[in-house]
A and B are shown apart, each in its own frame.
Chain A
């Protein structure tokens, strides 16, 4: 093997070997215990949800995906992100040395809070991060009532 990856055993142990070892040990535990007991979720793709007051913001990690390989839909208060990460576009004769990147189709659904205005949802994809902005509906925003 001509390109050797840091995970291969070596006499001189490096910091990255230690990280990699820890990751593989974590992976083993995850297999035995299930994802609930460990800090990282096994769900794909990984998602963050934030509340900024006026809107909800959903971030989703989707490296290697183009805009048109992605489908976002809102139906019955459920937001679904689906798509397919195609195989890398490669020349005919290649020899794989390491294959860790997950490829293929995926789908993930998130239940929306009732107060989202589904018609105002917008999305952008930048550097492998999908950002979906979900404005809260007017009726759910806090407002002051004047005393007459």
Chain B
């Protein structure tokens, strides 16, 4: 069983047009994400199993935040693949940031195959109560 489905190949071509560094055979995987808001920050969690920590990049440009990662799985030629469901390739997903995100304070952690981004809100825009004197 292979994962060289038509739609996957087309996705890879589009990725090539975007970024010449990608190999022609690279498969682009859009990682599943949870996004939520707390009073002080936004939290973004992305399922990126098998992505080496060193291979993950979080880039900001204008309003957009782009997450990339590569799954450098043990591609051993000595082994024979009997059954294959796990997609191997490049993780790529883009998000648009709101103006209230403090870009200087974004934190990223990668644990158990999950990338967590904490996007704190700007102090000046946080809701606050004003005491009546």
Contacts and interface: CB of A to CB of B under 8 A. Distances in A.
* Interface band, chain B: 35 or more
A35 B82 CA distance: 19
Interface residue tally of chain A, by bracket?
A: 35 or more
B37 A98 contact: no
**Interface residue SS majority, chain B:** mixed
Interface in B74-101: 76, 78-87, 92-101
A16 B37 contact: no
A101 B113 CA distance: 12
A14 interface: yes
A88 interface: yes
Contacts, number: 172
Interface string A1-35: 11111101010001110111011001000000000
A3 to B, nearest CB: 5
B49 A4 contact: no
Interface of B: 2-5, 7-8, 10-11, 14-15, 17-18, 28, 30, 32-39, 42-45, 47-53, 73, 76, 78-87, 92-101, 110, 112-114, 119
